[in-house]
Structure 1
Amino acid sequence: MKNDLSMLPLAIGSMPHMDTRAALRLIKDTMPQLPHWPQLPYRSAQEAMVNQYTFPYTKRGLVTEGEKSLVFNASLETRQEYLADVSRRYQAIIDGTPDDLSDFALPQEAALGFYDFLQELKNGELDDAAYLKGQVCGPVTLAMQISGPDQKAASYHPDLREIIVKGTALQAFWQTRTLSQFGKPVILFIDEPGLFRVSRRSSASLDKGQIIKDLDEVVAAIHAAGGMAGIHVCASTDWSLILATQTDILSFDAHGYFKSLTVYPEPINAFLTRGGILAWGLIPTTNEVFQLTAADLKVRFNEFVDILAGKGVPKELLLRQSLFSPSCGVGNCPVELAEKVYYLTAETAMLIKQG
Structure 2
Amino acid sequence: MTVATGIGSLPGEDYREAVKQVLGELPDLPHVPELPARGAIASMTGRTLAVVEGLDADLQPAGWRLTGTSGAPALDHRRARSLLAQDLDAVEELTQGYEGPFKLQVAGPWTLSATVERPRGDRVLADHGARRELAQALAEGVSAHVQDVRRRLPGAGRLIVQVDEPALPAVLGGKVPTASGYGRHRSVEPPEASQALAWVLDAVADAGAEPWVHSCAPGTPLDLLLGAGARGLSVDLGVLDATGTDHLAEALEAEPEVTVALGVVPSLPPDEPPTDKAVTERVLRWLDMVGLAPEEVGDRLVVAPACGLAGASPGWAREAMRLAGVVAANLG
TM bucket by the smaller chain?
0.7 to 0.9
CA contact (8 A) 1:7 1:323 kept: yes
Deviations 1:146-173 (A, max 9, x none): 1235544212312211221122112221
Shift of 1:284: 0.9
- Which SS does the other structure have where 1:193 is aligned? coil
Taking the aligned partners of 1:190 and 1:334, their CA distance within structure 2 comes to 25
Superposed counterparts of 1:250-261, under 5 Å: 250-254=233-237, 256-259=238-241, 261=243
| CA drift at 1:132 | 1.3
Report if the CA contact (8 A) 2:263-2:304 is conserved. yes
Say if 1:190 and 1:230, in contact at 8 Å, map to a contact too: yes
User: How far, CA to CA, are the matches of 1:234 and 1:177 in structure 2?
Assistant: 28
Is residue 116 from structure 1 mapped to residue 90 from structure 2 by the alignment?
Answer: yes
Distance in 2, Cα, partners of 1:270 & 1:339:
28
CA contact (8 A) 1:58 1:64 kept: no
How far residue 69 of structure 1 moved from its aligned partner, in angstroms, is 3.3
The question of whether the paired residues in 2 share the 8 Å contact of 1:190 and 1:231 is answered with yes
Cα offset, 1:270, TM superposition: 8.3
Q: Does 1:242 align with 2:236?
A: no
1:170 pairs, out of 104, 123, 140, with 140
Contact 2:51/2:138 (<8 A) preserved = no
Aligned to 1:291: 273
Alignment TM-score, normalising by the size of structure 2: 0.83
Alignment of 1:1-355 (within 5 A): 6-55=1-50, 62-74=56-68, 107-110=81-84, 112-121=86-95, 123-124=96-97, 127=98, 129-149=99-119, 151-181=121-151, 182-184=154-156, 185-197=158-170, 205-236=187-218, 237-254=220-237, 256-259=238-241, 261-262=243-244, 264-265=246-247, 268-269=250-251, 272-288=254-270, 291-309=273-291, 317-319=296-298, 321-353=300-332
Letter in 2 for 1:63: A
User: Can you list the C-alpha shifts for 1:166-211, whole angstroms capped at 9, x where unaligned?
Assistant: 2211222122212223142211111111123257899961121111
TM-score, structure 1 as length reference? 0.78
Uncovered stretches (5+) of structure 1, i.e. residues with no partner:
1-5, 83-102
| Preserved contact between residue 114 and residue 171 of structure 2 (Cα < 8 Å) | no
Letter in 1 for 2:63: S
Measure the CA separation in 2 of the matches of 1:207 and 1:105.
Answer: 35
Deviations 1:325-354 (A, max 9, x none): 11111112111111111110111111111x
The 8 Å contact of residues 72 and 146 in structure 1, kept in 2 or not, is answered as yes
Q: Deviations over 1:50-87 (max 9, x none)?
A: 11122467996x4344442333354xxx69xx9xxxxx
Deviations along 1:90-132, whole A, 9 cap, x unmatched?
xxxxxxxxxxxxx9997232464322001223x33xx2x4111
Q: Return the letter of the residue paired with 2:65.
A: V
Q: Contact 2:233–2:260 at 8 Å: present in 1 too?
A: yes
Indicate if the aligned counterparts of 2:161 and 2:204 stay in contact, CA closer than 8 A: yes
Amino-acid identity (%):
21
Q: How far apart in 2 are the matches of 1:201 and 1:54?
A: 24
Deviates more, 1:282-291 or 1:139-148: 282-291
Three-state SS of the structure 2 residue aligned to 1:324 is strand
Amino acid at match of 1:239: L
Residue 315 of structure 1, CA deviation: 7.6
Contact 1:44 1:110 in 2 (8 A): no
* CA distance in structure 1 between the partners assigned to 2:206 and 2:87 by the alignment: 25
Aligned Cα root-mean-square deviation (Å): 3.1
The answer to whether the 8 Å contact 2:4/2:325 transfers is: yes
